C-alpha cells in the first residue's frame, strides 16, 4: 500500500523566518536546511528527488533558460508529481542556458526543494501565501534599561539624522542581500562593505554591474586565505 502524503501546514513557526532585501525587494524565507529538517522530522521516509531529462541531464531546456523537475520519493517507492523550478538570477529572471553555472544549479535545487515541499505537503506554505505563522517559542518581554542622558538635538535635526540612519541601514541590508544572492562568500562581502565606507547606494549599483567572473575571483581570493 503506497504511503499517504503528509499534511505539514502549520509546522513552520515564525521563529524560523529570516528577512532578505529591503523595500519592494524585501522577502521572508526559511533557510533550506531548516525546511529539510522539518521534513525529516515530520515526514520520515520522504526524500527529495530530482527528475532527469530524456537526455539524462538535470536541466530541462526551454526556449529561454532551463528548469529542474523536483518531486519526493518515499522509502516504499511512492513518488509525488513533479514540480518545475526555473533557474533564475537574483532578479528572478531566467538565466540563459549558456550562462548557467554549477552554483546556479545547486541554488535552484535547494530553492526548488523548499518550493516543492510547500506545493506538495503544505510545508511552510504560509510564507508563499503571506499568512502569519504561529510562534514556536515563549516570548518574554525584557525589562527596559534606564534612559541615558544625551545631548538634545532640535527636532528637525534629530528627525533628519534618524532618517539618514534608517536609509543607510536599509541600503546596507540590500547590498548584503544582493552580494549573497550573487554568490559572494562572507569574507568577500565584509571586505566590500569596509571599502564602501557607508556609500551603499553607489555600492549597490557597482555590484549589480559585476559578472560571475568577478564573484569567482573574489571568492577564490578570500576563501583561499582561510586555509
> With 70 as the cut, is the pLDDT of residue 205 above it?
yes
80 and 6 Cβ atoms separated by less than 8 Å: no
| Bridge partners (DSSP) listed for residue 83 | 70
Average pLDDT estimate for 195-219:
83
- Please tell me the least confidently modeled range out of 71-80, 128-137, 151-160, 209-218: 151-160
The pLDDT confidence band at residue 67, using thresholds 50, 70 and 90, is: very high
Average pLDDT estimate for 106-123:
94
Q: Is the dihedral of CA 71, 31, 14, 41 positive or negative?
A: positive
pLDDT at residue number 153: 53
The pLDDT confidence band at residue 84, using thresholds 50, 70 and 90, is: very high
| Bridge partners (DSSP) listed for residue 84 | 69
Q: How many CB atoms are located within 10 Å of the residue 30 CB? A: 20
R_g of the chain, CA atoms, integer Å? 22
Please state, in angstroms and rounded to a whole number, the distance separating the CA atoms of residues 107 and 47: 18
Average pLDDT estimate for 107-133:
87
pTM value is: 0.57
> With 50 as the cut, is the pLDDT of residue 111 above it?
yes
Residues 6+ apart with CB under 8 A from 110: 32
Q: How many CB atoms are located within 10 Å of the residue 155 CB? A: 8
Structural domain boundaries of the chain? 14-129, 155-224
Question: What is the percent of the chain where pLDDT is above 70?
Answer: 78
pLDDT at residue number 79: 96
| Residue range 3-25, pLDDT digits in tens | 889 999 988 888 888 877 666 55
DSSP character string of 3-25: PPPP--TT-SBGGGEEEES-GGG
> With 50 as the cut, is the pLDDT of residue 138 above it?
no
Amino acid at each position: 500500500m503506497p504511503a499517504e502524503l503528509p499534511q505539514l501546514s502549520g509546522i513552520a513557526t515564525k521563529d524560523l523566518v529570516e528577512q532578505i532585501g529591503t523595500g519592494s525587494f524585501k522577502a521572508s524565507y526559511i533557510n533550506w536546511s531548516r525546511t529539510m529538517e522539518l521534513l525529516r522530522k515530520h515526514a520520515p521516509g520522504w526524500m527529495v528527488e530530482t527528475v532527469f531529462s530524456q537526455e539524462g541531464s538535470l536541466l530541462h531546456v526551454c526556449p529561454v533558460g532551463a528548469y529542474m523537475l523536483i518531486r519526493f520519493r518515499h522509502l516504499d517507492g511512492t513518488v509525488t508529481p513533479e514540480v518545475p523550478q526555473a533557474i533564475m538570477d537574483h532578479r528572478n529572471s531566467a538565466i540563459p542556458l549558456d550562462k548557467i553555472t554549477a552554483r546556479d544549479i545547486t541554488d535552484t535545487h535547494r530553492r526548488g526543494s523548499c518550493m516543492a515541499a510547500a506545493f506538495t505537503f503544505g510545508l511552510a506554505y504560509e510564507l508563499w501565501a503571506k499568512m502569519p505563522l504561529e510562534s514556536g517559542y515563549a516570548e518574554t518581554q525584557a525589562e527596559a534599561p534606564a534612559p541615558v542622558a544625551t545631548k538634545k538635538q532640535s527636532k528637525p535635526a534629530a528627525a533628519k539624522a534618524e532618517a539618514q540612519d534608517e536609509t543607510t541601514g536599509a541600503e546596507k541590508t540590500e547590498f548584503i542581500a544582493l552580494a549573497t544572492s550573487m554568490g559572494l562568500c562572507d569574507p568577500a562581502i565584509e571586505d566590500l562593505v569596509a571599502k564602501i565606507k557607508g556609500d551603499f547606494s553607489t555600492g549597490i549599483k557597482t555590484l549589480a554591474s559585476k559578472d560571475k567572473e568577478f564573484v569567482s575571483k573574489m571568492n577564490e581570493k578570500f576563501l583561499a586565505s582561510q586555509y
